[in-house]
């Protein structure tokens, strides 16, 4: 799958897929990496070691520090895919945390991503690979 690189690097993990945006300041427990907003589609799910596939960050500008906290606390996603264009909060948070970040994946292949699928994000080569095998 072709995509656009925002922050380079390589990451592999199970896809954690959501169509809902995330306010990183108020919706995630940054010590455990668990989404703790009851109203969010991913409520109770852990993003540690996953490839987070989501539309982007909303709300607080401090969300960028929350992404960095996830990394320092060892519970960050291995890579992030933004379904449309990456936003400033996600891009800046990933930039200082060295979390590979890609966006704008081509639509057809993007629709093939299912939660739990193994995803390899090769941000240095603008590429994402999917396999049906779960990690």
Partner 1 sequence: MELTREEEKLLKGEGGESLAVAYRILLAIGEATEAEKLIPVKWAHLSGVNYNTIGDSGMAFLEKFSKNATVAIRTTINPMGFDESKTPNLSDEFIQKQMSIVRSYRMLGTTTSFTCVPYEIFEIPEKGSPVSFAESNAAVYSNSILGLLSNKESALSALASSITGKSPYSNLLLDKFRHAKVTIKPDYNLSTELDYGLLGYFAGNTVRDNCICVDMCKEKLDTIKAKALSAAIGTSGSCGMFTNEENNQQEVITCGKEEVNTIKDELSTAEGGDLIALGSPQLGLNELHLLAGLINGKRLTKRCIVFCARAVHNQSTQTGLIDQIENAGVEFMCDSCTCLTPLITRTDFDSVITNSVKAAYYLKNSNRIGVSLKDLKAIVKEYAN
Residue ranges in contact with partner 1 by CB under 8 A:
4-7, 21, 25-27, 30, 37, 39, 55-65, 68-69, 71-73, 85-96, 101, 103
Q: How far is CA 50 from the centre of its chain?
A: 8
Closer to partner 1 at the Cβ: 37 or 118? 37
Compute the chain's Rg from CA coordinates: 13
Q: Which is nearer to partner 1, 6 or 117 (CB)?
A: 6
Q: Of residues 26, 60, 104, 115, which has the active-site annotation?
A: 60
Angle 36-115-121 (CA atoms, 0-180°, nearest 5)? 100
CB of 54 to partner 1, least distance (A): 12
Check if 61 is active-site.
no
């Amino acid at each position: 799958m072709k995509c656009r690189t925002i922050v380079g690097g390589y990451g592999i993990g199970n896809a954690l897929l959501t169509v809902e945006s995330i306010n990183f300041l108020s919706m995630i427990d940054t010590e455990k990496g668990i989404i703790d907003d009851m109203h969010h589609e991913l409520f109770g799910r852990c993003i540690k070691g996953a490839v987070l596939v989501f539309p982007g960050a909303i709300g607080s500008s401090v969300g960028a520090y929350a992404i960095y906290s996830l990394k320092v606390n060892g519970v960050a996603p291995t890579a992030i895919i933004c379904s449309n264009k990456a936003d400033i909060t996600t891009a800046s948070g990933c930039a200082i945390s060295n979390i590979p970040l890609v966006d704008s994946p081509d639509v057809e292949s993007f629709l093939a991503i299912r939660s739990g699928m193994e995803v390899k994000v090769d941000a240095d080569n603008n590429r994402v690979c999917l396999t049906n095998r779960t990690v």
